Structure 1
Amino acid sequence: MSSRENVTAVELDRQLDQFIDTLIEKNKADPQPPTEINDDWWNDLQRHPFFLKEMPEDGSELHPAVEALQALKWDDVDDTPKEKAEKFKEDGNYMFQLKKYKNSIISYTEGIKIRCTDSQLNAILFCNRASANYHLGNYRSALRDCVLSRKCKSDHIKAFVKGAEACMKLQMYKDVQSWCTAALLKEQERDERKRLVRDRKKKTEEEKILNAIKNRSIHLQTDPSIDIFDPNSSPLGSSIKLNDEDDTLIFPVVILYPEYSQTDYVKEFH
């Protein structure tokens, strides 16, 4: 625990003692019958974080001790801007799950204000704030946040979806079509990029295997109908592999015993 957290914990203890002493003094000044509890005293007690049973209402005033507890999480000077923004995002997501949409908007907004350099994170913060605004019926604000999310990351598909939904609520039907069309195009572009990445990775792996075979002076009898890298070409459902840890080649092997009319299959022989 850092010295800052120690100081805050001590301060919380001091505030709790002061809080209870104040309530006692207030009760002495305005004593109640033994069978009754002063409503103000009870309400003040329930607002203290040690006695909270549920999260404060959206926009309600927080008890100083609650704010002090929040400071433990938010005011860590060792956090990078991205880490701080991540914390605000997580807090906003938690509030969103509790349907505390106003509080979630506050958290997302604080995360956005940090202006971290992670475009993906910023896009998520704007998009999540759009979702919270959407649930509150703030459709124009939701649409604006979707536009900002796309500016941070042009292929953030969730922003397109939420933008189309906001346009639908605003009866901007032509814009709904535009948002949906743009989303489909972006999704196709993203899928194509993923395919190219997979193909490049596959080609790199195959070249490594071929080089390993060549370096070992192994002669392969090629057959145009057989792809040595395709598991479906082998009755074992396996293919030639290279173990990167020890640079070992692994082959699927068929062993024939003609005198016994038997065959053995070894899926990974090395």
Structure 2
Amino acid sequence: MALLMDPGAGPLTEREKADLDAIAAIKESAAVEYKEKGNQFVKMGRKHYVDAVDCYTKAIAQMEPLQPGPCPDASVLFANRAHVNLLLGNHRRALDDANRAVQLSPSNVKAYYRAAKAAFALGLLPEAAFFCRRGLEQDPANEELKKLLAQVDAKQSEQDRHRAKVSQAVSAAKDLAAAIEKRGFTLGKAEYQELTGVKKPKLDEQGVLHWPVALLYPEVMSSDFIEDFPETDTFVPHLDAGSGTVLSKSEILKFLLEGTVDSKSLPESLLDEEDGENDAGKSSTITSSGEGSVKWINVKEGKTLQEVLQHKDFIIPAIPGFDFQFLH
């Protein structure tokens, strides 16, 4: 007797049909028993959630292979297992189970809710909104789905605002970096942050760079900090030019973005860009014969900040800093 008929096999006899019906009844009874045990384990608390998952899995096995088309009983089993997986924090498994439950019974509102909840926990906001709306089509008055959809929409709006902020910050930093590169400035690592904090140059609507500038007076042990020094302004002629390690293009962008957005939210492609000849790790210092690592640059009166910063030996230590020396 062949209880599992091969494709193309002849019609079943009355005896074979009766045997198959009996086997189906036994499997259905076993599935119901496993389901009820699973429900009891859920009621017993978290320590028994794994046992509940095992019972629902055994109940599903009794119903397989599931035929194409609606199967409300199987849908309930998958939805129940999704519920326990949610309680255990197994969000991916919960989403898979709830999605299967929806496929087996498109009217299973609990399955839509659990699918939406799992998707939301996984950060899959479009999918979460989809399941919420599909569930509300079945039950427009469902308060749980309405509340969850409101949370999903709020989170999506928050993410959209954050992405816009990051995009705006990156665009502004790239424009600023391009302006610095166009002028031939060499930007180095920060040296005056204990005095200036996290200050950055700014590019105005006319394309003029405005620098924060530190003015140091070693002989009298004092200093000044100018928060807005347009590059077109001039200042006194005798100053000590900066020196240090040259920043790569990606390091310049990181510096310009510091304090504007969370670095973790920046696109990896931005931080991994090729830097050409200015690869990270290369450095340059100003040296003079027999006089240490710094050499003096005499700037004629009337020089603008931009002209000074464009000096081939000047490495800007994040923001310009100058030591004024008094001539005797």
Q: Normalised by the shorter chain, which TM-score bucket?
A: 0.3 to 0.5
Normalised by the length of structure 1, the TM-score is 0.39
Normalised by the length of structure 2, the TM-score is 0.32
Q: Which has the higher contact order (CA 8 A, sep 6+)?
A: 2
Structure 1 or 2: more helix by fraction: 1
